[in-house]
Structure 1
Amino acid sequence: MAEATSTSFDPPGSGEATPSPRKTELLERAYQYALQHGVANISLRPLASAIGSSPRVLLYLFGSKDGLVRALLARARAEELRLLEQLRAERGAEHTGLAVVVERIWDWLAAEDRRGLLSLWVEGYARSLIDPEGPWAGFAEDTVDDWLKLLAEHQPAGERDTAEAKTRRTEALAVLRGALLDLLATGDRARVTAAVHAWTSR
């Protein structure tokens, strides 16, 4: 399995000098804006107006509109990585098994206050496939690697590298992503959650 590598979607500040407080503040405001409006068709002027800045300042701080989009996707990925770290901390020294971790992940994904974040993930994921040369290039692959790595950690150490174990965690990820798309499209949390639990009980 491929390990997650350092990319332009690493959490803000993880591979560069500490950003200025002003840049951090504006990125957080822009991220909250993106949760409501998305990033694919983001326009600097209305964004700057909404967050109390100007297009000139945003271009100075982020280099370009593409640089800002990358920073926003990195901020979204930071939320994902925070969840992964929480799950690792809960796991402790022993693996918990795919069924348990899939249910924990789904409980987090299906929470009412996650819709904006999940829509942003899906948008970045889809655009990275449609426009591989754009600012979202590599976003989908990075997120797949993040989740597969975590799922592997919840399998017995002696079995993780077997073909069967790789297939099983790939299937688990497919179930989670499919359920997520269904939930975003229909809002039918009860039905989709029942389907996820049916898979984990197999």
Structure 2
Amino acid sequence: MEAAKASPRREELLEAAYRYVLDHGLGDLSLRPLAAAVGSSPRVLLYLFGSKDGLVRALLIRARADERELLRQTPTGDLTEAAGLIWDWLAAPAHRAVLTLWVEAYARSLIEPDGPWAGFARDSVREWLALLASAQPPGDRDTEGGAARRTAVLAVLRGALLDLLATGDTARTTAAVRHQLAALAGSAPLRRP
């Protein structure tokens, strides 16, 4: 069955389902408890989203909207400054639920590369690298060294995020991120051996 076209009711239920999965995760998502929590029925959810996989895909797209909002607020021209602002957003306690959901979806897309998770990790990497590229000066953006710097920044942010979500230690992870960003900002251009 194909998902119904966008409608106010679909959007309303998508937002309610998104709030639900922020609290409960996607891993063991069951339509009955979800439908009860959002004031609907499994049948209506299946009609509006086509299938449970269709609903999960819609929820993953919705989660990405929060990330894209961050992307729109990131300054351009200074990769280190942009990465620092991104880290501040990632480290904010108010964003833990969406980031935990992101980690779950990222991992599931690696473990279960088919189905609703398909491509989530790859697309996420591509989106974040594009964001970081837009924060670089135009002359650095299209160089091998520029690509290596934004990849290194992404690795620092992702690694620190996983650590933060596991430990809750904002001070330590923030200090580590700031240290690494300063080191990357002062690094010489990368050369091939």
TM-score by length of 2: 0.90
Greater radius of gyration (CA): 2
Which residue matches 2:32? Answer: 45
Matched, 1:153 2:130: no
Whole-angstrom distance in 2 between the partners of 1:127 and 1:52: 28
Gaps of at least 5 residues in structure 1 are 1-15
Q: Which residue matches 1:113?
A: 94
Which residue number in structure 1 is paired with residue 45 of structure 2?
58
Is 1:181 aligned to residue 162 of structure 2?
yes
Paired positions, count: 181
1:141 aligned to 2:122?
Answer: yes
Equivalent pairs: percent with the same residue?
Answer: 65
Give the structure 1 partner of residue 21 of structure 2: 34
Q: Let me know the Cα RMSD of the aligned residues.
A: 1.4
Judged with a 3 Å threshold, the aligned counterparts in structure 2 of structure 1 residues 44 and 18 are, in CA distance, closer, same or farther, namely closer
Task: Give the TM-score of the pair, scaled to structure 1.
Answer: 0.87
The one of 29, 35, 59 equivalent to 1:72 is 59
Q: What is the letter of the counterpart of residue 111 of structure 1?
A: A
The reply on whether 1:199 has 2:180 as its aligned counterpart is yes
The answer to whether the aligner puts 1:167 opposite 2:154 as a matched pair is: no
Q: How big is each residue's C-alpha offset from its partner over 1:147-198, in whole Å with a ceiling of 9 and x where there is no partner?
A: 1011111212122221111111000000000010000000000000000010
TM-aligned CA deviation for residue 41 of structure 1: 1.2
Counterpart-to-counterpart distance in 1, 2:169 and 2:119: 30
Bigger share in helix: 2
Counterpart of 1:70, as a letter, is R
| Structure 1 residue 17, shift from structure 2 partner | 9.5
1:107 Cα offset (Å): 0.4
CA change 1:142–1:102 in 2 (3 A) is: same
User: SS in structure 2 opposite 1:19?
Assistant: coil
**Match of residue 12 from structure 1:** none
TM-superposed CA distance for 1:18, in Å, is 6.7
Unmatched tracts of structure 2, length 5 or more: 184-193
Instruction: Give me the whole-angstrom Cα distance separating, in 2, the residues matched to 1:29 and 1:58.
Output: 12
* Residues 5-35 of structure 1, C-alpha deviations (whole Å, 9 max, x = no match): xxxxxxxxxxx99711110000000000000
Contact 2:31-2:42 within 8 A present in 1 as well? yes
Tell whether the 8 Å contact from 2:14 to 2:59 is kept in structure 1 after alignment.
yes
**1:109 offset after TM fit, Å?**
0.6
> What is the CA-CA distance between 1:43 and the residue it aligns to?
0.1
Q: Residue type of the partner of 1:161?
A: D
Q: Letter of the aligned partner of 1:137 in structure 2?
A: A
Q: Greater relative contact order: 1 or 2 (C-alpha under 8 angstroms, separation 6 or more)?
A: 1
TM-superposed deviation, 1:200: 1.7
